[in-house]
């Protein structure tokens, strides 16, 4: 996606090309509908996938991004099993954060069964911290991310809040299904069919959204964690249909 945007409201990070779409796609699509500018940074191409190479997975992610409506999507093409918290990798993320100046960063939850997800959370969190210090890579102006949201992948957690995605859940699923190599089987000719690789996974994924939606009295929800509480300046912000 080519553009010259220098400021984003929200920047989401994922280890693999479908992580953000699957776990935070509803939130991002809704923010786009509300007029916010959104971007996604994928750290790897997911080239260890059993069903596709990295080039195909990146192509699928760009198609998905058009459905979500994000302004930019970049893939750093780091090795899938080697997201190391080196100074060089951290500096790359620091420069990205300072370039797009997001107010909100959306990253994986810090505990997960997949090492790449844990490493992405840890490294991105470090880069967000470093990006606000002017003496670190001083040639790029420091930027402070105001809020970090952690999205749920494999391990469930007690959310700090649940985001209502009822009116963007269909968009989220449509975006997720753009990752055909991860979702659908191929026939003998090599074309993707309507048969899912793992129908139980999709059923369980939708059930999770229904469960978190049910907990706040809506149809679909996405759960998010925060390391620290956020403040409010009026109780009116709590007097809505979710209370």
Q: How far is CA 2 from CA 40, 62, 69, 226, in A?
A: 13, 11, 14, 32
Q: Which residues contact 55 (CB under 8 A, 6 or more apart)?
A: 45
Q: Is the pLDDT of residue 70 over 80?
A: yes
What is the homologous superfamily of the domain 10-238 according to CATH? LmbE-like (3.40.50.10320)
User: In the chain, what is the straight-line distance between the N-terminal and C-terminal CA atoms, in Å?
Assistant: 40
Q: What is the pLDDT of residues 85-142, one digit of tens each?
A: 666 999 999 999 999 999 999 999 999 999 999 999 999 999 999 999 999 999 999 9
**How confident is the model over 128-147, as pLDDT tens digits?**
999 999 999 999 999 999 99
Q: How many residues does the chain have?
A: 243
The domain limits of the chain are 10-238
**Where residue 159 falls among pLDDT bands split at 50, 70, 90?**
very high
Task: Using CB atoms within 10 Å of the CB of residue 88, give its burial: 0 to 12 exposed, 13 to 18 middle, 19+ buried.
Answer: exposed
Task: Please check the confidence at residue 207 and state whether its pLDDT lies above 80.
Answer: yes
Mean pLDDT of the chain: 92
């Amino acid at each position: 996606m080519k553009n010259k945007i220098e400021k984003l409201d929200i920047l989401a990070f994922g280890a693999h090309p479908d992580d953000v779409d699957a776990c935070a796609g509803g939130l991002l699509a809704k923010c786009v509908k509300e007029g916010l500018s959104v971007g996604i940074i994928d750290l790897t191409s997911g080239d260890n996938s059993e069903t596709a190479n990295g080039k195909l997975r990146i192509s699928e992610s760009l198609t998905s991004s058009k459905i979500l409506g994000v302004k930019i999507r970049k893939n750093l093409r780091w090795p899938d099993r080697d997201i190391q918290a080196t100074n060089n990798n951290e500096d790359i993320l620091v420069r990205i954060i300072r370039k797009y100046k997001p107010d909100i960063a959306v990253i994986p939850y810090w505990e997960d069964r997949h090492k790449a997800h844990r490493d992405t959370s840890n490294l991105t969190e470090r880069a967000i911290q470093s990006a606000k210090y002017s003496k670190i890579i001083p040639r790029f102006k420091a930027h402070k991310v105001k809020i970090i949201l952690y999205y749920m992948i494999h391990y469930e957690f007690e959310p700090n809040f649940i985001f209502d995605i009822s009116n963007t859940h269909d968009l989220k699923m449509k975006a997720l299904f753009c990752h055909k190599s991860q979702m659908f089987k191929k026939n003998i000719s090599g074309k993707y069919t309507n048969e899912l690789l793992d129908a139980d996974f999709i059923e369980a994924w939708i059930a999770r959204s229904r469960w978190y939606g049910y907990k706040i009295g809506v149809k679909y929800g996405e759960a998010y964690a925060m390391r620290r509480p956020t403040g409010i300046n009026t109780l009116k912000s709590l007097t809505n249909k979710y209370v």
